[in-house]
Amino acid sequence: MSVASVSEAIVVVNAGSTSLKFGAYAVDASRSLPLLCRGEIESMESDPHFVVANATGRQLGRHEWGSGQAIDHKTALHFVITWLEANLADRKLIAAGHRVVLGGTRFEAPVRIEGEVLDYLDSLVIMEPSHQPYNVLGARALAEAFPGLPQVACFDSSFHRTMPEVAQTYALPQDVRDAGVRHWGYHGISYDYISRQVPKFAPQARRVVAAHLGGGASMCAMLDGRSVDTTMGFGALSGLPMATRSGDVSLSALFYLLRRKLFDDASLEKMLYERAGLLGLSGISDDMRVLQESTDPRAVAAVEYFVYAMTKYAGAYAAVLGGLDAFVFTAGIGEHSAPVRAALCAKLSWLGVKLDEQANHANGPRISTADSRVSVWVIPTDEELMIAQHTLALVRP
């Protein structure tokens, strides 16, 4: 192994509105990218604090700016990169990879951030205002703080560009579609990772439905590892109910609320993103763990609604795929909620799903019985590693 191959690292950045998550990966001869550390800076607008841990979870460092303080993305990224350079055993950072939710029609794969790339991505903020502006801001801030560091953008929408045109199209006039209104789909970095893991567990499975169930939740139908449909549509709001996001709602109901002047466009969007979903249904919590432990009828109803929505999409995607070979649960709820998995598997018994209750309580990896016609799996996702792999492929092809 060469000296260069053991002394380099890649950092992965996920910039949010008030937080910054990051992970650092070693670049070695095998290109396996072992995790060096992972951390975040939270509450950047009011009480910024930094914490970082190694791959086993052992804390490596902390820092607090103080309550009532505020830092911007450039300050946060400068702190993170400086800390990494000082604490990663003399490893040199060779690139940064960013999660960006929307790549639009121009970027259907990860891309080096150079030239007019960020200007184009900024132009998409009007389409996806909840995540896109902060993803782009993070890349701009890092470029200002460390202008010589190569950067790569990886898009949540890219994986779904393999969907057939009919699945990417809405029944709207041509001029409206030309304005960019189409079914983009998100969580693509997670599904990209899962698509590469499925053959290791179920090598014969061609027709797969994966459910990324976390604070944001979606499902994806995959044929031979390629997306053919997904529940999130134009924005990251439609499809399944989420922690605080509504999921599918009748458009007529939204027009009604506007006509009644109960909301304007800004407050309506805020309600749908921040006060709906599991929180809106239950009036108790947006946390599935809290809802599952509660006997309050509203909490029970919220969990039932979540499973019901998944059941509808699972049936639709089985039809789109012409059958189903495997079903995959991933992300926070998918990886850790045995009750949610059991409830959905019971609803899918008509497809031949048979749950192994003991394996389900142990969180898998396989939670279906040997004679289940559809194999069911719990496969942890790793979006950061997927970004690191794409970044390495572009900077060291």
Query: What CATH number is associated with residue 321?
Result: 3.30.420.40
Looking at residue 85, its pLDDT comes to 86
- Based on the fold, state whether residues 150 and 206 are members of the same structural domain: no
Q: Is the pLDDT of residue 154 over 70?
A: yes
In tens, the pLDDT along 255-281 reads 999 999 999 999 999 999 999 999 999
Looking at residue 327, its pLDDT comes to 98
Q: Is the pLDDT of residue 10 over 90?
A: yes
CB contact at 8 A, 204 and 325: yes
State which of 125, 155, 185 marks the end of a domain: 155
Q: Does residue 252 belong to any structural domain of this protein?
A: yes
Q: Is the pLDDT of residue 89 over 80?
A: no
- Mean pLDDT, residues 59-87: 90
Looking at residue 4, its pLDDT comes to 40
Does residue 80 or residue 194 have the better pLDDT? 194
Instruction: Please pick, among 28, 47, 122, 156, the residue that the annotation labels catalytic.
Output: 156
- Based on the fold, state whether residues 107 and 27 are members of the same structural domain: yes
- Based on the fold, state whether residues 142 and 255 are members of the same structural domain: no
Read off the pLDDT band of 124 (50, 70, 90). very high
- Based on the fold, state whether residues 214 and 346 are members of the same structural domain: yes
State which of 155, 190, 224 marks the end of a domain: 155
Q: Is the pLDDT of residue 392 over 80?
A: yes
CB contact at 8 A, 309 and 340: no
Q: Does residue 168 belong to any structural domain of this protein?
A: no
In tens, the pLDDT along 174-228 reads 999 999 999 999 999 999 999 999 999 999 999 999 999 999 999 999 999 999 9
Structure token digits, residue 310: 């998944």
Q: Does residue 164 belong to any structural domain of this protein?
A: no
- Mean pLDDT, residues 133-145: 89
Give the number of domains in the chain: 2
- Based on the fold, state whether residues 232 and 105 are members of the same structural domain: no
- Based on the fold, state whether residues 230 and 118 are members of the same structural domain: no
- Based on the fold, state whether residues 211 and 348 are members of the same structural domain: yes
- Based on the fold, state whether residues 49 and 146 are members of the same structural domain: yes
Query: What is the average pLDDT score of the chain?
Result: 93
Read off the pLDDT band of 19 (50, 70, 90). confident
Q: Does residue 250 belong to any structural domain of this protein?
A: yes
Read off the pLDDT band of 91 (50, 70, 90). confident
Q: Does residue 219 belong to any structural domain of this protein?
A: yes
Q: Considering the entire predicted model, what is its pTM? A: 0.92
- Mean pLDDT, residues 51-65: 93
Task: Give the structural domain span for 216.
Answer: 202-383
3-state SS string for the chain: CCHHHHCEEEEEEEECCCCEEEEEEEECCCCCCCEEEEEEEECCCCCCEEEEEECCCCEEEEEECCCCCCCCHHHHHHHHHHHHHHHCCCCEEEEEEEEECCCCCCCCCCEECCCCHHHHHHHCCCCCCCCHHHHHHHHHHHHHHCCCCCEEEEECCHHHHHCCHHHHCCCCCHHHHHCCCCCCCCCHHHHHHHHHHHHHHCCCCCEEEEEEECCCEEEEEEECCEEEEECCCCCCCCCCCCCCCCCCCCHHHHHHHHHCCCCCHHHHHHHHHHCCHHHHHHCCCCCHHHHHHCCCHHHHHHHHHHHHHHHHHHHHHHHHHCCCCEEEEEHHHHHHCHHHHHHHHHHCHHHCCCECHHHHHCCCCECECCCCCCEEEECCCCHHHHHHHHHHHHHCC
CB contact at 8 A, 245 and 281: no
Q: Does residue 178 belong to any structural domain of this protein?
A: no
In tens, the pLDDT along 297-316 reads 999 999 999 999 999 999 99
Location of structure tokens 């699972």: 314
Task: Give the integer Cα–Cα distance in Å for 207 and 227.
Answer: 10
Looking at residue 127, its pLDDT comes to 92
Read off the pLDDT band of 2 (50, 70, 90). very low
- Based on the fold, state whether residues 16 and 83 are members of the same structural domain: yes
286 is catalytic: no
Looking at residue 5, its pLDDT comes to 43
- Based on the fold, state whether residues 145 and 253 are members of the same structural domain: no
- Based on the fold, state whether residues 111 and 222 are members of the same structural domain: no
High-pLDDT (> 90) share of the chain, %: 81
Task: Give the integer Cα–Cα distance in Å for 100 and 112.
Answer: 12
Counting Cβ atoms within 10 Å, is residue 46 exposed (0-12), middle (13-18) or buried (19+)? Answer: exposed
Least confident residue range of 5-19, 124-138, 220-234, 347-361 = 5-19
- Based on the fold, state whether residues 145 and 206 are members of the same structural domain: no
Q: Does residue 166 belong to any structural domain of this protein?
A: no
State which of 124, 139, 155 marks the end of a domain: 155
Between strands 8-15 and 20-27, the pairing is antiparallel
Q: Is the pLDDT of residue 55 over 80?
A: yes
Read off the pLDDT band of 3 (50, 70, 90). very low
Q: Does residue 263 belong to any structural domain of this protein?
A: yes
